[in-house]
Amino acid sequence: MDIGKSFGFVFEDEKWVTKVLIGGLVNLIPIVNFATVGYGVRTLKNTADGEERPLPEWGDFGDLFVKGLMVVIGALIYAIPIFLLIAMAAIVAAVASSGGNQDALSGALGLCTAGLTCVQVVYSIVLALWLPAAVVGYAMTGEFAAFFRFGEIWSFISRNVGGYIVALVVAWVASLAASIVGGILCGVGILFTAFWATLVAAHLLGQLQRENSGLAAPRPAGAV
């Protein structure tokens, strides 16, 4: 995995200024900004397919929006247990707070609330580790059902656990750097740096998919 390439590949594209500018502006608009997620999905696939310049054009905006929408819906379905746990914890906490002087009951309900919160945190961590691999499956097939092909997702992760963890950590670092730099640029810059961070993550996962599928890395233009 070429980490340096993932951080700099955007700037190798001849139209990178225009493409990043559009991505940042699209990020301004709620709901419409799902298209930037779709742009990342397509970048991931282009990278996995070995394209030397994986940044797609913005021409087919509708398709990019639909791809991003599918990722959001898939993530929301996976997040349903979190919503349920939050609701259960809130109900238990409300019952505990209305328990009056029943210290034993209030204590038990408090422990129950803490337990539900712990389960929620553990599930959230597992989901953060699992969901990127599910997105890879969707990016490569274009099928929404790929989000829930658990065997294939687990196979992708387990074939290269080390590389997968490295990809996620580096993507997190890129996101953190984007937040810092974007904040320095009067806050508005984060719309563009966050878009760049999304592309870094897409490229990392695309590289991993290409390596796992046994495809060679793309050669520089003009190479024999």
Residues 49-82 pLDDT 10s: 988 889 999 988 999 999 999 999 999 999 999 8
Of the two residues 113 and 1, the one the predictor is more confident about is 1
Query: Is residue 224 in a domain?
Result: no
Residue 224 has a pLDDT of 33
DSSP designation for 143: -
Query: Which phi and psi angles does 71 have, rounded to 5°?
Result: -65, -45
Query: Is residue 218 in a domain?
Result: no
> Residue 181 — pLDDT band, cuts 50, 70, 90?
confident
Query: Is residue 41 in a domain?
Result: yes
> Residue 97 — pLDDT band, cuts 50, 70, 90?
low
Query: Is residue 222 in a domain?
Result: no
Residue 50 Ramachandran class (φ > 0 left, ψ -120 to 50 alpha, else beta): left
Query: Is residue 67 in a domain?
Result: yes
Could you tell me if 206 and 41 are in contact, meaning their C-beta atoms sit under 8 angstroms apart?
no
- The number of distinct structural domains making up the chain is 1
Distance, first Cα to last Cα, the chain: 22
Q: What is the pLDDT of residues 1-54, one digit of tens each?
A: 888 999 999 999 899 999 999 998 998 899 999 999 999 999 999 999 988 889
Query: Is residue 35 in a domain?
Result: yes
Alpha helices in the chain (DSSP H): 3-8, 16-26, 34-48, 61-78, 80-97, 103-141, 150-159, 161-184, 190-212
Residue 220 has a pLDDT of 46
Query: Is residue 127 in a domain?
Result: yes
Residue 223 has a pLDDT of 41
Query: Is residue 220 in a domain?
Result: no
Query: The domain containing residue 178 runs over which residues?
Result: 3-212
